[in-house]
Chains A and B, each alone.
Chain A
Amino acid sequence: MTTEEAYLISAGRLIDPLLRRDEEPATLYVAEGKIVDPANYPKDFPWTKIDAQGLIILPGLIDMHVHLREPGESRKETIKTATMAAAAGGITTVVAMPNTIPPADHPDTIAWIRKKVDKEAVVKVYPTGCITEERLGEKLAPFQSLIQAGAIALTDDGSCVQNARIMRRAMEYASVLGVPILDHCEDTALSDGGVMNEGLWSTLLGLPGWPSIAEELIVSRDILLCEKTGAKIHLQHLTTEGSIRLLRDAKKRGLPVSAEVCPHHIALTESALKEYDPRFKMNPPLRTEKDREALIEALVDGTVEVIASDHAPHALFEKEVEFEKAPFGVVGLETLVAVCLKELYFSKKMDLMDLFAKLTVGPSRVLGLEPPSLRYGSAADLILLDLNASWQVDSTAFFSKGKNTPFEGMHLKGRVVLTMIDGKIVWREKRLVEKQKTV
């Protein structure tokens, strides 16, 4: 990390999804932690130059679905390692899920997380609080206290509130407090015991299936409750064509419902499980090609406004077991951008503006955060992206303690080479540093 406070980032291609700006060459000035107008500074101001030729300058990304694993499971990940991974992945803001040990169902836990974040985090972190006590789905958590302590949304992620009456009350209560409910959509009576998508491959492999309808039933319920209560509901990590259809209809009716999809669900299908490799075991599971296409279509047509990693690290030994025994979850912070580029941009389905809107404007709107932007006065949270950098996924090089990536060995294109938060460089790829030295 450097201590310089004023930068002149020159000759890059600037893309700002909030302002719909796409300019090249562009020069950007950063001082006092913000994007600034150089006209307000003396001509001989000592800017530190960063040559962004051949690079894309983007606002910092928001990943609204991250498992930091602290408190309680630092063998899997820590706030420090997860946020270092986020910085290297170009993510300047992460939203932490509350399924920790203890769960974030009490303001003291939120306070503990915030304290640890202040001390160790490399990027901005916003905690979420639980919908129900201990995430058991039975009794509402103290929403107001959680929000006062710093929670920006409520979710039982990892679990889904099964009782519709409790969910209705949660949505009603949250709507008055002005925070969204984020829901992991899974009817556990239908998914019970399932470890992969129910279908041809689960039948072939003899593994218990987690059927699409277990997700769709809750999506449907949440939409109906949203209509009833008027509360903002955000559907996490959607995976099925049926869910997308339900969401699209709800949006047509103007309901305040939003949704996210994950890179692994748009890049992979259930057939990836043919070797019983637990690195492909996640909840919700990888689905069919038809589902994968529906998710991409929903991103392209705007039905889904957010891409999130659902970064869920596990210790290596926990995944080196029989498939059915392995925990659900994959890491994703350090591959998020490149996988999205591969599946959406290089495959010519989306342009960069729309793609990065799903990682900036989309999540900020769901969460009610200041949208990331490169306009004057905005916090200097930005990244430099080398679109042409080819690299191979090597989990041993990850900052994350979790090495459980389904993309191990995959050749990808596009790499974040610099990440800046509030005007401070928190990640800079070595070759960029070397390049600067030669300038």
Chain B
Amino acid sequence: MQNLKLDAIKRKWKRKDLVSLEALDLSEIEAILLAAKEFKTILKENLPLPFLNRRTALALMVEPSTRTRVSFEIAAKKLGISFLSIDYKTSSIQKGESLKDTAKNLEALGIDFLIIRHPAAGSAAFLAKLLNISVINGGDGAHEHPTQGLLDLMTIEEHFGTVRGLKVLIVGDILHSRVARSTFWALSKYGAKVKFVGPITLLPSYFKDFGAEISYNLDEALPFADCIILLRLQHERQRKDLFPSIGEYIASYSLTTERMKKCKKDVLIMHPGPVERGVEMESELADSPNSAILKQVENGLAIRMAVFYLLASYFENR
């Protein structure tokens, strides 16, 4: 079904893969966001969808994932894309096959999109170079999770009407977070001021060279924030001894109702999920009117539909 707005956006699209937001320029981020908004309207108003049938997407999850995989799956199915997923526990990688060989075999089977989640940073870039099909980074180690960054951006823009000039805190385990990186690139390229907050061992000073501000004191940073994005502690990626105890982390960096008193009244609270209630934030705050956590999930669907749609157009535009 023809959609003139989407047609206009896709004609300009020139990328085969979505590996990182750092690599995208502003116009590309804008294109994805515009397409996502259009998809959201289409879904809400139950308008006819532009189908990408006869295409197949495969999610290769070499690391556990529920919400990202399901979100991609629903996005694909709404567009008429056949969707398959391979769990790392059942993949040939478990038998010692290299990622290269697994991916080449999957490509040979005729898939059009490969969504890769992998514990190694750079794995999506590695596959994007290797394959002729579209590779979508569903999270590569501590590097990037571009669709998460885009859905965060969309949620903030939707809430405030604009991103430019907004002050956003990203709080927690910044060092090991791919969300922190992708969301930072999306927000800063779109004109927001980002401040990272966390314990010094999880927030090395090198982040300043990204163009971000950094702070080790959440209480000091809270009053200025328009939006606070809390991150999950990446227990699986951390080596030991990065901070003394969860209790100490909570005392310094957990968002509590007490700490909320220091915040702007209408501060927006976000979290990429899954939330560890009582650790990153007090449980009630996750369900409070300030929370946009479920809105993020909803927007994730529109973003992933937009990504499928635009990457497919790369092959049409060639």
Contact = CB atoms under 8 A, between A and B. Distances in A.
A205 B206 contact: no
A203 B121 contact: no
A324 B141 contact: yes
B86 to A, nearest CB: 17
B121 A321 contact: no
Interface stretch (A156-164, A192-200, A357-365, A381-389): A192-200
B236 to A, nearest CB: 13
Interface string A173-197: 0000000000000000000110000
Interface string A348-366: 0000000000000000000
Interface string A190-230: 00110000111011111100000000000000000000000
Nearest to A207: B121
A192 B240 CA distance: 11
Contacts of B144: 206
B98 A206 contact: no
Contacts of B142: 206-207
A203 B207 contact: yes
B204 A203 contact: yes
A203 B98 contact: no
Interface in B96-129: 98-100, 118, 120-123, 125-126, 129
A275 B99 CA distance: 17
A317 interface: yes
Contacts of B204: 198, 203
B22 interface: yes
Contacts of A325: 120
B206 A206 contact: no
Contacts of A321: 98-100, 126
B10 interface: no
A143 interface: no
Contacts of A206: 121-122, 140-144, 178, 181
Nearest to B120: A322
Nearest to B181: A206
Among A192, A198, A317, A324, find the residue whose CB has the most chain B CB atoms closer than 10 A.
Answer: A324
A324 B239 contact: no
B206 A324 contact: no
Among A202, A206, A275, A323, find the residue whose CB has the most chain B CB atoms closer than 10 A.
Answer: A206
B209 interface: yes
Contact of A323 (B120, B175, B209, B210): B120
Query: What interface size band does chain A fall in?
Result: 20 to 34
A276 interface: yes
Interface in A304-361: 317, 320-325
Contact of A320 (B98, B123, B209): B98
A205 B143 contact: yes
A204 B22 contact: yes
B120 A200 contact: no
Given A203-B204, A203-B207, A276 B122 contact: yes
Among B118, B121, B143, B178, find the residue whose CB has the most chain A CB atoms closer than 10 A.
Answer: B121
A201 to B, nearest CB: 9
Interface string B166-198: 000000000100100100000000000000000
Contacts of A317: 98
Query: What interface size band does chain B fall in?
Result: 20 to 34
Among A192, A193, A320, find the residue whose CB has the most chain B CB atoms closer than 10 A.
Answer: A320
Contacts of A322: 99, 118, 120, 122-123, 126
Contact of A207 (B122, B126, B210, B239): B122
Contacts of B120: 322-325
Contacts of A323: 120-122, 126
Contact of A205 (B118, B121, B126): B121
A276 B239 contact: no
Nearest to B98: A321
Nearest to A199: B206
B206 A200 contact: yes
A192 B123 CA distance: 21
Contacts of B175: 203
B210 A204 contact: yes
Nearest to A317: B98
B106 to A, nearest CB: 16
A271 to B, nearest CB: 12
A275 B178 CA distance: 17
B126 A192 contact: no
Interface string B68-110: 0000000000000000000000000000001110000000000
Interface string A275-288: 11000000000000
Among B100, B126, B143, B204, find the residue whose CB has the most chain A CB atoms closer than 10 A.
Answer: B126
Among B99, B204, B210, find the residue whose CB has the most chain A CB atoms closer than 10 A.
Answer: B204
Given A323-B126, A324-B120, A203 B206 contact: yes
A209 to B, nearest CB: 8
Interface of A: 192-193, 198-200, 202-207, 275-276, 317, 320-325
Q: Which 8 A-B pairs have the closest CB atoms?
A: A276-B122, A206-B143, A206-B142, A322-B120, A206-B121, A203-B206, A324-B120, A323-B122
Interface of B: 22, 98-100, 118, 120-123, 125-126, 129, 140-144, 175, 178, 181, 204, 206-207, 209-210, 239
Given A200-B206, A200-B209, A204-B22, 8 more contacts: A198-B204, A202-B206, A203-B206, A204-B210, A205-B143, A206-B140, A320-B98, A322-B99
27 contacts: A193-B239, A198-B204, A203-B175, A203-B204, A203-B207, A203-B210, A205-B121, A206-B121, A206-B140, A206-B144, A206-B181, A207-B121, A207-B143, A275-B125, A275-B129, A276-B122, A320-B98, A321-B100, A321-B126, A322-B122, A322-B123, A322-B126, A323-B121, A323-B122, A323-B126, A324-B122, A324-B141
